[in-house]
Amino acid sequence: MHAFMRTLTSGLPGNELKWLKQGAKESNRSLESLVKRRLAHEPIQYILGTEPFGDLDLLCRAPVLIPRPETHWWTAALAEYLPKTNKRFAEHFAGPTSRTLSLLDLGTGSGCIPILLCHLWPKGSIVATGIDISQHAVSLANENATLCGISRSTFKAALADFLDPAFPNAETINPPYDILTSNPPYITADEYLHLDDDVANFEDPTALIGGSDGLQYYRDIANLISRDGFLSSDAVIALEVGHSQADVVSDMIHSKGFNTDIWRDPWGKKRTVIGHRR
């Protein structure tokens, strides 16, 4: 048996084996079955069922997108940046004010972005909504919100399709929003064909492909933000983009009456487009 396990685990990096052993110990699942799943390219986050996102530990379940380190990076940076953008936001984050701030996250997946923002602003009271086209994602995001126990704020995920011309029409979507965040699907249909098995065989293609040129969702977001009454007059927008998309997405947002800024991640890539109403 030991020799069999040694052969089975020889294809795994040492740290993954350590995590799987830990996972097997914590959940009474056999190490052999966990290793077999990993060797079949299932991501370790789905096998263990969680992934750290800052100091949160979020539930992960296929096929909902596993939160990525680059998403954590800009979300944490946004939490620091927002109080510096205007007086109303600054007052709000210093402590409770008479008004709540409303936040909408488009394509919320695990709920990682709004849940971390609420967690990092413990003094503010934010009414956050995450929408997703996938019921798997909506359920997981609501479970994550309960698990993470955000104090003064509330977060609720709801099923909706933001590409639908009738969006927003559900009761759960209640504009105007003060903060709009999104990490939409942004890889091209061609890039999808070249993804590693770990991603392509387990994560939902709907979470990844942004149309033939990868930009379909940004065009839609640009249309949404230019609608009367969708955003408040001092709203801030934060969009994650693919590594070559920042300039074109920034131009789209700029053309809708917003000043824009592009943030580079710690690895030097242009990863986030920030927008403020002009």
Ligand X SMILES: C[S@@+](CC[C@H](N)C(=O)[O-])C[C@H]1O[C@@H](n2cnc3c(N)ncnc32)[C@H](O)[C@@H]1O
Q: Contact positions toward ligand X, by CB under 6 A?
A: 65, 67, 71, 107-110, 112-113, 131-134, 137, 161-163, 183-185, 204, 206-207
Compare residues 78 and 207 and give the one whose CB is closer to ligand X: 207
CB of 113 to ligand X, least distance (A): 5
Distance (Å, whole) CA 121 – CA 81: 12
Residue 274 in contact with residue 238, Cβ under 8 Å? yes
CB of 75 to ligand X, least distance (A): 8
* 216-225 helix and 246-254 helix, angle to the nearest 10 degrees: 20
Compare residues 163 and 200 and give the one whose CB is closer to ligand X: 163
Distance (Å, whole) CA 259 – CA 139: 35
Residue written as tokens 């580079």? 264
CB of 166 to ligand X, least distance (A): 12
3-class SS letters over 170-205:
CCCCCCCEEEEEECCCCECHHHHCCCCHHHHCCCCH
Burial pattern 115-134, b for ≥16 Cβ within 10 A else e, equals bbbbbbbeebbbbbbbbbbb
Backbone angles phi, psi at 222, to 5 degrees: -60, -40
First to last CA, the chain: 67
Distance (Å, whole) CA 276 – CA 262: 12
CB of 137 to ligand X, least distance (A): 4
Compare residues 141 and 236 and give the one whose CB is closer to ligand X: 141
Residue 234 in contact with residue 211, Cβ under 8 Å? no
Compare residues 107 and 275 and give the one whose CB is closer to ligand X: 107
Compare residues 8 and 170 and give the one whose CB is closer to ligand X: 170
Compare residues 7 and 135 and give the one whose CB is closer to ligand X: 135
CB of 259 to ligand X, least distance (A): 24
CB of 133 to ligand X, least distance (A): 4
